[in-house]
Structure 1
């Protein structure tokens, strides 16, 4: 059993290197097996095919980030329904956004090579559209929040195209960090400014100005 676990980990380690170098479509199972010192038959004992091997590298890290996002979205939904997000406590909302962002950034940099694999090398795999799926989850959440804000504050309904852009921007903030910023410490500084920008922009769409944030004058 111990030998099987070690063989599986060795195959994944060699696969990660191969996929990062060549991408999913050009990666060679034969090359991976040769580097791992096993036969192709041994690989098929652990993984159904190349796609299954690729997915095994990104599945758990991606699930962890999605869970953190969905928990945060659930908290925002509950806060909106209870009136907390409409009571003027914008600063507390920003603090919660920042805490969630730090947790996600930590996970992204804990498994940075695997997220780079997903973002840059997954073309042709079954998880090629994973980022688009996360964007769709964000889009649904922001549509709900925007409609609830509009019902309480008034004004015109925010257009679908704007909500779609906001969802993309939310995810692109993290994508940029993983693909362009080398250290978690630098990414945290970048995220600090990004969160401030996004929070102010969100409330600004509804006519909430910085001097109103935390004043109790939103509704």
Structure 2
């Protein structure tokens, strides 16, 4: 966890409010500095530009979810030597619940990432998650096929479309300001729907 000065905390608080209200592209750096009561020079002593301020607000949480996501991928590979690959769908749903609670523990940050990041390097954040998911899952499925633990095939194009639709649907919780309780119910229903579809295409053993 980063340590901030009182000045930085004030800049971050006002910056977050400005980005949430207007999005990154329309947020006014001059307005942020003015509201904070600082000079432009004081601001630049902490952040070189508006993008750096946005990055300071979201990077730790964005990286945190990505790391959790990679851990979830590894957990699936650990099912193989334990001969528990048939439990992959249940494991995915378990991690989905962990992810949604992490998202709601950091809701404002994910609101910035999902709804306010156009014009920043985070504008493709969901797409980046999708690409990690597809790359690792295809390696996992290839391993299962070699072991005779998976029947069925799916093209990369269809895999990408389904995965992209799934991630977009999950982050609708943030876009539509669902309560945590509603979001948990929603993503678990979503998991049932998508798992049934995957089971129709790929049968785990």
Q: TM-score, normalised by structure 1?
A: 0.83
In structure 2, how many angstroms separate the alpha carbons of the residues matched to 1:174 and 1:189? Answer: 11
Q: Is the 8 A contact 1:65 1:104 kept in 2?
A: yes
What is residue 211 of structure 1 aligned with on the other side? none
The verdict on how the C-alpha distance between 1:178 and 1:159 changes in structure 2, with shifts beyond 3 A counting, is: same
- Find the partner of 2:132 among 137, 160, 163: 137
- Find the partner of 1:191 among 167, 187, 192: 187
Q: Is the 8 A contact 2:14 2:36 kept in 1?
A: yes
1:206 aligns with 2:202: yes
CA deviation after TM superposition for structure 1 residue 78, in Å = 2.0
Q: Which consecutive aligned stretches of 4+ in structure 1 deviate over 4 angstroms post-superposition?
A: 153-156
CA deviation after TM superposition for structure 1 residue 181, in Å = 4.2
CA deviation after TM superposition for structure 1 residue 203, in Å = 2.5
- Find the partner of 2:100 among 89, 101, 105: 105
CA deviation after TM superposition for structure 1 residue 32, in Å = 0.3
CA deviation after TM superposition for structure 1 residue 170, in Å = 3.3
CA deviation after TM superposition for structure 1 residue 201, in Å = 2.3
Q: Is the 8 A contact 2:152 2:201 kept in 1?
A: no
Give SS of 2:45's match. helix
Q: Show the 5 A alignment for 1:148-159.
A: 148-151=143-146, 152-153=148-149, 157-159=153-155
Q: Is the 8 A contact 2:141 2:150 kept in 1?
A: no
The verdict on how the C-alpha distance between 1:80 and 1:163 changes in structure 2, with shifts beyond 3 A counting, is: farther
Stretches of structure 1 lacking an aligned partner (at least 5 in a row): 209-217
Stretches of structure 2 lacking an aligned partner (at least 5 in a row): none
1:39-79 residue CA offsets vs partner (Å, 9 max, x unmatched):
21111111121110011111111111111111111010221
Give SS of 1:165's match. helix
Identify the range of structure 1 (93-102 vs 187-196) with the bigger mean alpha-carbon deviation: 93-102
1:119-176 residue CA offsets vs partner (Å, 9 max, x unmatched):
1221111222222211110111221233234442565532111211232133213211
In structure 1, how many angstroms separate the alpha carbons of the residues matched to 2:70 and 2:40? Answer: 39
In structure 2, how many angstroms separate the alpha carbons of the residues matched to 1:154 and 1:50? Answer: 48
In structure 1, how many angstroms separate the alpha carbons of the residues matched to 2:202 and 2:24? Answer: 44
In structure 2, how many angstroms separate the alpha carbons of the residues matched to 1:73 and 1:134? Answer: 12
Q: Is the 8 A contact 2:152 2:202 kept in 1?
A: no
